Amino acid sequence: MDLIEAIQTRRSRGRMLPDLPPRHLVERVLEAGVHAANHHDTQPWRFWVLSGDARSEFGDVLAEALRNRVNETDATKMDAWANGERGKPLRSPVLIVVGVVSERDDEMTKREDLQAASAAVQNMLLAANALGLAAIWRTGDGAYDDHVKSYFNLRPSDEIAGIVYLGYPDPNMTPETRTRAFADRTQWLGPIAGA
């Protein structure tokens, strides 16, 4: 699959088979991530690959963070919400948590580092598609929670750019077809050959 085809056919796939992709494919996805554009070459991204029981442990952390964050007096409702959080990491056989660690404290560098990590996630999604894997980029309140960040030894000032859910596509789920056009969202401000 060439690059343009990988871009045009990439779809977020929320349902995946439980089969665990081999490590070498996950490493290729990670390798694509570190080739993202990055101003000043700060390489702010950090990756945590979770599979097996590590996903359940992460689910417990998400549930605990929710309980700490939400003031809900109805125990039944709170338990249901916590169980929902606990189950999120089990939706795919592999999770890649993408953290952002800025070594400089100025706002511009922090912003650019988050943008670089987001570019890394996009590279990873494209690589997954090219490798025949399913992937979806998720965040949610847990990604911004200091308790969740601390689980990955991130500081409150660090970020989680996203969690890439990775696996094999469920053949019973047909990805949506969509048409996206740039023309109605583009202004041309100067001459370009061939116009």
The CATH number for 147's domain is 3.40.109.10
CA angle centred on 10, ends 4 and 13, rounded to 5°: 175
pLDDT for the residue 3 = 78
pLDDT for the residue 75 = 86
Give a yes or no: residue 111 inside a domain.
yes
pLDDT for the residue 120 = 97
Give a yes or no: residue 9 inside a domain.
no
Give a yes or no: residue 149 inside a domain.
yes
Q: Report the alpha-carbon distance of residue 53 to residue 55 in Å, rounded.
A: 5
Q: Tokens 């943008």 label which residue?
A: 115
CB distance 163 to 95 below 8 Å: yes
Q: Report the alpha-carbon distance of residue 61 to residue 48 in Å, rounded.
A: 15
pLDDT for the residue 187 = 83
pTM, 2 dp: 0.89
pLDDT for the residue 195 = 63
pLDDT for the residue 119 = 96
Distances (CA, A) of 94 to 106, 125, 164, 166, 178: 34, 13, 8, 5, 27
CA angle centred on 151, ends 43 and 87, rounded to 5°: 110
pLDDT for the residue 43 = 93
Give a yes or no: residue 43 inside a domain.
yes
Give a yes or no: residue 163 inside a domain.
yes
Give a yes or no: residue 179 inside a domain.
no
Give a yes or no: residue 35 inside a domain.
yes
Nearest alpha-carbon partner for 27 in 116, 133, 141: 133
Q: Report the alpha-carbon distance of residue 3 to residue 16 in Å, rounded.
A: 23
Q: Provide the residue range defining the domain that includes 123.
A: 14-50+91-170
Give a yes or no: residue 3 inside a domain.
no
Determine how many CB atoms are found less than 10 A away from the CB of residue 132: 11
Judged by DSSP in three states, 84 sits in: helix
Query: Which stretches in the chain have pLDDT values below 70?
Result: 10, 177, 195
Residues 6+ apart with CB under 8 A from 187: none
Domain count, the chain: 1
Residues 6+ apart with CB under 8 A from 60: 86
- What letter does residue 165 receive in the DSSP assignment? E
